[in-house]
Structure 1
Amino acid sequence: MGNYSSRQQAAQSETPTYFTQEELSKLKSEFKTGGVENVQPLLQKKLKELDKTELNIAVTGDTGTGKSTFINAMRGLCSEDEGAAAVGITETTMEPTGYPHPNLPNVRYWDLPGTGTPQFTTDSYLKKMKFEKYDFFIIVSAGRFTENDAKLAMEIKRLGKKFYFVRSKIDADLNSMRQQRKEFDADAEMRKIRRYCVSGLGKAGIPDPTVFLISSFDNDMYEFPRLMKALADDLPKIKQSVFVLALPNLSVEIIQKKGEVLKERIWMLAILVGGVGAIPVPGLSAACNIGILIGVIIYFRECMCLDHVALGRLANRKGKSVEALKAAAPSPLLGEITADVIVWLCTALVAVSAVASVLYFAPLVGSLFGAGSSFLMAFLILSNALNLLIECAIELLAVAKGAE
């Protein structure tokens, strides 16, 4: 009981995620004067704002550095997948080309033309690429970083934007060294490569640069996970949440982070589900909008890379069938989501613990709760669905790593 009280007090002293203090005050005021019906339009507006939040990520550098392969890796795609960025030895990009995330189209990676080519001198490059539109820049090199890279970084800094240096193809370099030497220390060699990159950038005018050593083919190894964490941490809260949901499931940590982002939205969705066109359903103790519930669960499934298309891509890469993957993590949530599945989700739920969780995220609607309220029922269903999807994603990650 003590833990519940302290958690409730903490919730009431914090601003719910995504809301400014002004928005929170308006929510409380509208709820006091008109109840949940007055709150729903404000929450619908906020959810639409989250859905429409754009994130534009520029990937640039000299030709042949692996920009397209990197973009595909960040989107969870291989070069053979539909919608993948074209991969070629020669420069394949003459104009900035945007590649949307497969499930979150407002997240877009831009493959910029390589610098230092006959088509683009550095000066003309800076003018034509319209740097202002991008949220941050990733400068990729497959060897040493050049004077062009340093000039780009300084221009990006002048515009007040973030940039990150990525040294690609580290796997190929280490494999080549391993074959040539009787004694080989991968960590020591990576330190040498880093010093070489940092030294070159320092001479070109970038003091103390941070360089990430990655392989786009082994994107759960080397410093690919550290890069993704750095990119997320430097973004504003709303864009950070969008970026996290767009990440491929490379680790348990990423999957759990996605779960945290989605859990912060559940209370808003539950208010809409419990009040907009709610109808009784046999087997449920309160009326809910089943159509919205199903749509939200499908959205959760896509964010967790558990939709049929994402499972198909994973199956192809691991030489398995989609049915074999589903058998490894059996759940009704991986099939068609129907009213019967919604009723199934209601089984074995503990209402008291759910109330505590809701109060933690949404103190302003605490007075709505009762064991049979539509809001609480919707919250229970969505929370249970998300927890099960997180478990499925973690199980399939283990299966994928086992296949490797």
Structure 2
Amino acid sequence: MGNQSGRQQIDTDIKEALLKNDQHLVGAKIQEYLDEEQNVSLNIAETGSGKSSFVNAFRGIDNEDEKAAPTGSVETTMEVTPYPHPNYPNVTIWDLPGIGSIKYPTAKYLKKVGFEKFDFFIIISADRFKENDVKLAKEIQKTKKKFYFVRSKIDHNVRDEERSQRDFNEKRTLIQIRNNCIQGLQDQELQSPQVFLVSSFDLKLYDFPKLVETLKQELPELKKDAFLLAMPNISLDMIKEKKKAFQAKVKYWAMLSAAVGGVPVPGVSAAVDIALLVAVVTRYVLGFGLDIPSLKRMANYSGVPYEELKKVIKSTLIATGVTSELLVTLLSQFSTLGLLRAAEEGCKFIPILGIPVSMGLSFTFTYSSLNMILDILAEDAERVFTRVCS
């Protein structure tokens, strides 16, 4: 059910359950949607030269990180090697060995690497695309899967050109490199190749944002969200997109809260709501890269000291991790939310109408709380990004 029609079907099922006043079914359907969204997998295959640095940059980690793909001047990948995302283990980048070797001959390459599990392929080259790259692209075409050419180390090329040309123009240089790559691929009878120029040293530069946008447009809906949230924050726009993706799910969490809010036992709804908020806010922190391990990786990757990144963060949820105590303390600062919670518990004792009113108040409490916290964390992510870029 990993597509837009599947999501619409769950929306329909939830509405029908609400019309029937089937509280248990409402909760079950919402949980089904949330579990599916959380467990969706995304498998990205990368092959070519200079790919290990790109694998690491894609996951937002430094080449020296203990979880980094090994880099070197010679081909280091001899086997199909998975590199799970540090925050989203269901998102995996697979480092593939080169095509055309004795162990991985062209005719059997895709079968031997297990092409069925990959959502798309990225073919990388640090200089020019070779005959084997084209052979692989043609084999992938036969499977109807997507593939993209990435020309890496563009920052090196630009620097070299700047040193050697008196009338250097970066835009003109990039156009020439891209056109040369496309022409070289077309000369080998590959039609309409998509070529993206990137620097693994700084993904904000050149074509990486365009590559991300292309992948988002061509992935199924649920995989699109998984891809977006796993991406490093390469722009303020990306942070805003992540916030938008999280906002789209707030209503489901709030409806799940409302379903629990109908339980006529004092204290149950409040306890479940706080546990739910901890789980969701933890997702926000990870998605924005604001957890401590992510901040330390960002510090290593960007060269900005970790303590400097911490200084620009205003939320207390970052320093020690998201806990129920911290959330209760944070939410208690907003009197409206406290009144909603008190009213919800009180309504349960009102005959007949008490439970429906309580469910509505539970929805409003969770909906308002999540949106408020989401605003706070998105602003922190923007401050961190601005500090890294300053």
TM-score, normalisation: structure 1: 0.84
Match of 1:160 in 2: 144
CA displacement at 1:83 relative to structure 2:
1.1
CA displacement at 1:329 relative to structure 2:
2.1
Match of 1:3 in 2: none
Q: 1:368 to 1:257 in 2, by over 3 A?
A: farther
User: Superposition pairs for residues 325-336 of structure 1, below 5 Å?
Assistant: 325-336=309-320
Does residue 383 (structure 1) correspond to residue 371 (structure 2)? The answer is yes
Describe the SS at the equivalent of 2:44. strand
Contact 1:215 1:222 in 2 (8 A): yes
User: Counterpart amino acid of 1:167?
Assistant: R
Does residue 53 (structure 1) correspond to residue 40 (structure 2)? The answer is yes
Does residue 80 (structure 1) correspond to residue 67 (structure 2)? The answer is no
1:26 equivalent among 13, 35, 44: 13
CA displacement at 1:32 relative to structure 2:
1.4
Unaligned 5+ residue runs, structure 1?
1-15, 352-366
CA displacement at 1:21 relative to structure 2:
4.0
Does residue 194 (structure 1) correspond to residue 197 (structure 2)? The answer is no
Does residue 393 (structure 1) correspond to residue 381 (structure 2)? The answer is yes
2:168 equivalent among 184, 190, 193: 184
User: Superposition pairs for residues 2-401 of structure 1, below 5 Å?
Assistant: 19-61=6-48, 65-117=49-101, 119-276=103-260, 289-336=273-320, 337-345=323-331, 347-348=333-334, 373-401=361-389
**What is the distance in 2 between the residues matched to 1:195 and 1:210?**
11
1:231-276 Cα offsets, whole Å, 9 max, x none, are 1111011110110010001111111111111111111112334444
Unaligned 5+ residue runs, structure 2?
338-354
Match of 1:10 in 2: none
**What is the distance in 2 between the residues matched to 1:18 and 1:339?**
39
**What is the distance in 2 between the residues matched to 1:372 and 1:31?**
12
CA displacement at 1:339 relative to structure 2:
3.0
CA displacement at 1:310 relative to structure 2:
0.6
Q: 1:87 to 1:226 in 2, by over 3 A?
A: same
Contact 2:126 2:151 in 1 (8 A): yes
Contact 2:82 2:93 in 1 (8 A): yes
TM-score, normalisation: structure 2: 0.86
The percentage of counterpart residues that share the same residue type is 39
CA RMSD of aligned residues (A): 2.7
CA displacement at 1:73 relative to structure 2:
0.7
1:279-298 Cα offsets, whole Å, 9 max, x none, are 878xxx97752122112111
CA displacement at 1:36 relative to structure 2:
3.5
**What is the distance in 2 between the residues matched to 1:211 and 1:377?**
48
CA displacement at 1:127 relative to structure 2:
3.5
Q: 1:318 to 1:247 in 2, by over 3 A?
A: closer
Describe the SS at the equivalent of 2:317. helix
Task: Please identify, of 116-125 and 84-93, the stretch whose mean Cα deviation from structure 2 is larger.
Answer: 116-125
**What is the distance in 1 between the residues matched to 2:260 and 2:385?**
36
**What is the distance in 2 between the residues matched to 1:280 and 1:346?**
19
Describe the SS at the equivalent of 1:222. coil
CA displacement at 1:191 relative to structure 2:
1.1
CA displacement at 1:209 relative to structure 2:
1.5
User: Counterpart amino acid of 1:335?
Assistant: A
**What is the distance in 1 between the residues matched to 2:356 and 2:247?**
19
Q: 1:371 to 1:384 in 2, by over 3 A?
A: farther
User: Counterpart amino acid of 2:163?
Assistant: Q
Contact 1:248 1:305 in 2 (8 A): yes
**What is the distance in 1 between the residues matched to 2:18 and 2:331?**
29
Contact 2:53 2:200 in 1 (8 A): yes
Q: 1:299 to 1:154 in 2, by over 3 A?
A: same
**What is the distance in 1 between the residues matched to 2:95 and 2:287?**
23
**What is the distance in 2 between the residues matched to 1:171 and 1:132?**
34
**What is the distance in 2 between the residues matched to 1:321 and 1:175?**
26
Equivalent pairs, count = 367
CA displacement at 1:19 relative to structure 2:
4.4
**What is the distance in 1 between the residues matched to 2:140 and 2:316?**
48
CA displacement at 1:391 relative to structure 2:
0.3
Describe the SS at the equivalent of 1:332. coil
1:80-135 Cα offsets, whole Å, 9 max, x none, are 11311111212211111111011110000000002244543322423312212100
Contact 1:273 1:293 in 2 (8 A): no
Contact 1:139 1:165 in 2 (8 A): yes
**What is the distance in 1 between the residues matched to 2:111 and 2:326?**
57
Contact 2:57 2:200 in 1 (8 A): yes
Match of 1:356 in 2: none
